[in-house]
Amino acid sequence: MHSTSDILDIRQVEKSKIDQVDFDNIAFGKNYADHMMVCDYKDGAWQKPKILPYGPMEFEPSAKVFHYGQAVFEGMKAFKDENSKVWLFRPEENFNRINISSKRMAIPEFPKDYFFAALETLLKLDEKWVHPGDGNSLYIRPFVIASENGVSASPSNEYKFMIICCPAKAYYNSPVKVLVADHYSRSADGGVGYAKAAGNYGAQFYPTNLAKEKGYQQIIWTDSNSHKYLEEAGTMNLFFRINDKLITAPTSDRILDGVTRKSIIDLARHQGVEVEVRKITVEELVSAAEDGSLKEIFGTGTAATIAFIEGFEYAEKYYDLPQIENPYSVRFKKGLQDIQYNRAEDPFGWRYEVKLD
């Protein structure tokens, strides 16, 4: 078993900048914790990871990430309970998924011992950045970029794997309205939709801006072949409640295998709710909205946890969702957060304690 010093080079900040941050008024992704991890891939191997003070870095204009988009990322959160213990939520899922994404983008997979040693060391050093309380967390962003210089159209021979952290509150503070896509697509069969590739998100900004001009915060994406089947929304997987049944689209090479998504499926079934993982059509959604059997739509993701959707537009017609008592979305969000914040039993073994001493 390696010690942390064997695995990591650590250089701590001289003075924390935490007292410069107003934790009651945080814009998501604008303030960053004191330290970051950087690990270089060169000469065919990942080098010794470094923990450094968070700060700007230099890259040559010819770095391949700027030209060919070899970049993948993950989203994770650390939570603090009322006893000041720090917890991660299913971190092995994120570790496995970033390597799945990397493989699809021809990026070398990252070693597990490096990943967890760096993650735990960052959280020990920046433990004060993890604030307790509902909605508070430390958002963790592991990512990999192609760093080799050269504009030849080929995979890079050099990469940087990095982890940065930022304090976060609730991503969506109020219900959102969504527009069902009937023209633009997020991903296609055989593509990279299942990977957390940076370009997936850049490509959806323009159609999302068009939706925002119409008063919608997100798009519900449909399949690229026919625009017949509902898939996911922006940065979230989707769930539809028709009567008392919960429906979500199956994962595929177009749809991200969301950690929160699979957790909600397990949590719902554990609570006796019927869940169907199957294709759902726009026609079925509209029909359910018109006959009153559509009770809820909600999105799930690491940043959002659960985002409540109050209505959707399709084919120039808007459908309001009903106000119901004891919605699944509220129940499952509480159930999930009670596990994440160590307020309830964890029958699934999802919590991962970060040893701070």
What does the pLDDT look like over 292-328, one tens digit per residue?
Answer: 999 999 999 998 889 999 999 999 999 999 999 999 9
d(CA 156, CA 265): 38
| Tens-place pLDDT, residues 194-251 | 999 999 999 999 999 999 999 999 999 999 999 999 999 988 999 999 999 999 999 9
- Percent of the chain's residues with pLDDT above 70: 98
Phi, psi dihedrals of residue 98, rounded to the nearest 5°:
-65, -30
pTM of the model: 0.95
Tracing tokens 């971190």 back to the chain, one arrives at 91
The SS3 call for residue 349 is coil
pLDDT at residue number 65: 98
| Tens-place pLDDT, residues 138-168 | 999 999 999 999 999 999 999 999 999 999 9
User: Does residue 1 carry a pLDDT above 70?
Assistant: no
d(CA 1, CA 289): 57
Tracing tokens 């969702």 back to the chain, one arrives at 321
Q: What is the dihedral of CA 43, 45, 47, 48, to 10 degrees?
A: -150
Q: Would strands 245-248 and 236-242 be described as parallel, antiparallel, or unpaired? A: antiparallel
pLDDT at residue number 4: 72
Q: Would strands 305-314 and 317-320 be described as parallel, antiparallel, or unpaired? A: antiparallel
Mean pLDDT score across all residues of the chain: 95
User: Does residue 5 carry a pLDDT above 70?
Assistant: no
pLDDT at residue number 3: 54
**Whole-number CA gyration radius for the chain:** 21
- Residue 257 has, within 13 A of its CA and on its CB side, a CA count of 13
Q: What is the mean pLDDT of residues 101-128?
A: 97
User: Does residue 262 carry a pLDDT above 90?
Assistant: yes
pLDDT at residue number 151: 96
pLDDT at residue number 170: 76
Q: How is residue 323 written in tokens?
A: 């106000």
Of 104, 54, 94, which Cα lies nearest the Cα of 74? 94
Q: What is the mean pLDDT of residues 333-349?
A: 97
332 near 306, Cβ under 8 Å?
A: yes
Q: What is the mean pLDDT of residues 108-133?
A: 97
The H or E element containing residue 342 is none
